[in-house]
Amino acid sequence: MKEYSKSKLNRVKRGQNRATYDVEKINTILDTGFIGYISYVYQDRAITLPMGYGRKDDKIYLHGSQANRMLLTLLEAKEMSMTVMHLDALVLARSGLHHSVNYRSATLFGTVKKLEDSKEKYLALFCFMEHMMKGRWDGIRKMHKEELDRTLVIEMTIETASAKIRDVGVADEPEDYDLDIWAGLVPLKQITLPPISDERLKEKTAIPKHVIDYYEINK
């Protein structure tokens, strides 16, 4: 089992029993998601924004316009942090104090660089698209060179990370278990609904197999 080394930066202090530094478990959390929350400082103000991402091995890829404020700030800082979180259930206890949620979250820390080489940018954008929906890249038109040129792509190398996972039931005070109050879990799940074709599609354009497959797997 490969783990990230623990330091003051990534060590989980509160709820250490829910912490994991296992690389495979953290990658599973990342691969289950597509949106990460990225924090940065701009003009002495802390800002957090959601961003789509792609992952390959220990690399995270983000992209935007060449004038993207967040990406330019990250490049100037040469480092970044990103959190991905999945909400799995509401934990409804017998007292307000012990209400909680079940979740899986991972926080990454690493260095950042700008991808300049066209081939590297192309492969990073391919990774991003395939992370969003496997098979989609081959189902769309090829990217024009000018589109590639005006797209800013950054690569984060994950240097360390940690995750927290809560996947248990209610934890009430011992004396509260005798109360006539309902307690338990309300499971939550993100699902995919049937695809909706664009109204300007050419007549008889079928929904591609990779879209149908994505829907069938996630519905």
The pLDDT confidence band at residue 1, using thresholds 50, 70 and 90, is confident
Q: Please say whether the beta carbons of 154 and 115 come within 8 A.
A: yes
All domains of the chain, ordered by start, with CATH? 16-190 (2.30.110.10)
Q: Give the whole-angstrom CA distance, residue 148 versus residue 145.
A: 5
36: alpha, beta or left? (left if phi > 0; alpha if psi -120 to 50) = beta
Half-sphere exposure of 202 (CA within 13 A, CB side): 1
pTM (global) more than 0.75? yes
Residue 52 confidence (pLDDT) above 90: yes
Provide the β-strand partners of residue 56.
Answer: 59
| pLDDT digit string, tens, across residues 132-175 | 999 999 999 999 999 999 999 999 999 999 999 999 999 999 99
Note the pLDDT tens digit of each residue in 89-142: 999 999 999 999 999 999 999 999 999 999 999 999 999 999 999 999 999 999
pLDDT of residue 69: 96
**Of 57, 180, 171, which is closest to residue 124 (Cα–Cα)?**
57
Number of H helices, E strands in the chain: 5, 9
